[in-house]
Structure 1
Amino acid sequence: MFGVVSAPQQTSTGDLVLPLIAGVTAVAVAVYASVRRRLRARTRTTPGGASPTVVPLDELDRRAQHSLIETDDCIRASREELRCATEQLADEAIRACTEAVEFAAAELTQAFGARQRFDDGAGEARVLLTEILGRCGAAGRRLDAEAPGWDQLRALERTAGEALAHAEARSREVAARIPESAATTAGLRERYALPAYLPVVGHDEQAKERLAFATTVLGRARQAMDAGRTDDAVALLRAGEAAVEQAAVLLDGIARLAADLATATDALPGALTGIETALTRARGLLGTQTARAIAHGEPVMAEVRGAHGPRDPVGALRRIEQVALGLDRALHQVPGGSEALARLERALLVARGAVGATADYVTTHRGAVGCEARTRLAEAERRLRAAENTDAPPVPAPADALADAREADSLARQARQSAERDVRAHGTPYGEGDWAGGAVLGGILLDAPHRTADRPGHPGDGGPASYGGPGTRGRRDGGELFRPRPPQSPLPDETKAS
């Protein structure tokens, strides 16, 4: 039986080409789609947006500087209001709010550290600026989150009368210190050279100005309460509280400097003896570097020792330490033992004074102080903390602590110079009739958040700075409350009272 024999199956070339083309096309489409997705992810700013997300470095730098200044101001204002309420609220009640400020301060310290590295060119610029924005953002959000709870705790709309009485009493207490502070300042002028007391020149007058502002706004707050304008009363009260606290900072600075100068005067003979001993030892050694160090140090010491009349003992200690550092480097030696500890104690005295005076200046002039001064101050504070960490592990070597103290002093003085330049560029706030100028300069009063050509506003329109972050610190509206008023144009309630 013959079977049917099937013909051999022949594969068409066209049958192979078509699947191959389809496969290549699918791969090409997938690759193209992947590339498009990556490009969109790198360039999208918002869902569905098409503008690039890569912010120019200059703009990123501007944002970072603004965030540092704003966050620093928020923390300073929050701490001021915390101090105002400590006698009225128990520590346990305000624990969460206090912890929020400390968290924000820790984030800001890290952000300023990143800024210092950016300024030093130590690190990738975009990474550092992005870190600054992230840390400042975290600090601000934490403070903003606690602001509603803080308002519930203080309940100023309900307890304004009690808070006002406390602020008035505090104002009288600080005002009573003015004569003593003025006498202290006069004594500094008689006993010391100008560079010694220059950090507090004008402090007593500025304190009087802050207290005069406080007296005015606290008086208006009481009038507003009597007229039933509670919101206005609370805004005026907050401005008065902050002004009183800044006056206290200014007077504290005078007292601290007087104590530092007295301590430095007592320490100066021992410092001179120590450096003379070091120079005598160095004279017995050979070497070009040693000779140069001696040649530099001897006239400095002769000038310090031979000074007649008023002198600057803190500046003298600073110069003595610079001579000692020059000898260390020339002799390739590391200070140790009791000599190093004595030098460290003197260097810490100098550094604490410089850091404290600069911190006071920034606090009371923060409405004009820029990013550079704040960054250098933050780094000075960090180096000072490192130098003082002699009792907690790990204990730094005396030479390392001494280097930190010297650097803290140097950075603090750089910060003060930068801050003073900012204030001079900002100009005097005391225009004719501008009774709130010092409060604007001190950051007590904020500028209005939104200004237009039709409504240019006036400094202080944003109201007083309150506890909180960038989104909440200006919640006490200022409006017309802090604007200069022409003569014979009192508030409505003042008219009634007359």
Structure 2
Amino acid sequence: MAGFWGNRKKEREELAAKDAELGRRAGAALVAADERIRTTADELMYAEIELGAEATAELRDALTAVRQHLGEAFHLHQLNHDEIPDTPEELRTRHARILQLCEWAEELLDDRTEALAGPIERARRAPEIITGIRQDVERLRTRLPQLEATLDRLAARYSDDALRKVSGNAAEAKQLLDFALHGSEVSERRREADQREQANLALETAIEAARRAGTLIEAVDQFEVEALRAESTLDAIVLDSREDLAVAREFAAVPAVSAAMADLDAALGQLTPAGQKPDPFTELTRLRGANAALDAAVDKARERAARPVPPESHVRHAIDDADRQLGVARSVISGHRGWIGADARTRLAEAERVRLELANTVGPTIPEDDREQVMAVARRCGTLAAEALQLAQRDIDSGRPNDGGWGQGGPGGWGGGGRRGGGSDLVGGILGGLVIGGLLDGMFD
């Protein structure tokens, strides 16, 4: 008994220590959250000076919500220290709620202040950023003549459809550079007039305009490189396609291969003639798709040749065979229910489920692509039915009377008066398999 009470005392001391630690953490979290509110309020004031009230509205709303919910946390903390006694469970619940509220407050304020960190940094560095924008505009403007020369060179080589994505890049880049320069000037004037929100908005648009202009200029150079690469790849695909067509003639009698050959031949015929401007991207996409389709058709035909598709009559025969085996198993199990155990019944149920699945997938005709799968399912159904029949026969044999049992003649035997052998076995089988089975079924219904 001394050991029992000693263990209980130790458990109480450990629980009290955990509760004390939880209370300490709740108090520390409450202090930290309250201090975070005061710090964030100061940050909000400076952010409004830099960005304006509209840009900082989400942080202001978050601060209001945090103050409201932290009031609940302070109230719970006060309940823990008033004159009314509390149970350990009540204290534990309040401390946990205080921690939850404080963690939520910290996470929300972190999210809102981080969202403003970038705009505030840009607003404080506005003069430096505006100088950088003007330098970028001047640098990109020097590339415009080269950009226009590149577009002229591309227009002489490729079709209008091929150049549609980049043909207007020079004019659009020039407009964006003008807009970026204008935006930086507007940002300066608004900042000097102490219109911070408008100044920051103009600065953001100027930054984005300069970035977009640089992207458009780079896109033209990238297009030229990708167009040359597409032409090179197209030449290789053309050679490969002609070789594939020669190989595919071996399987031209297969309808899928014949159709794929015709599509690839048509794609080759649609290539731009010499002396005209091509669209290498479109031609490469079209030819590559037709080439891949022919490869797949040939692979399938080659596999089909190595493993011929079974005739539909063979598949139907497999289904009929499964039906026969299923019918025999169903008949035997139904006629000897009193002796049939769970294993045979389970195999029969699974065989019937597979047969139902087969019935839902097989139509009036069986497509070649489905025949192997249908035959495999039919064979599985037949195998399950055969296993059900084998297990049922095992159960019947184990319950059938033998020498010294019901069918033995002599005193005390059912076959007294010379009724021995097959006749008594039949009586015993009927009684054991049907009568007793029926009685048991009735008792447990």
Which band: TM-score by shorter chain? 0.3 to 0.5
User: Who wins on radius of gyration, i.e. which is larger?
Assistant: 2
Structure 1 or 2: more helix by fraction: 2
Q: For CA contacts below 8 A with separation 6 or more, give which structure has more relative contact order.
A: 1
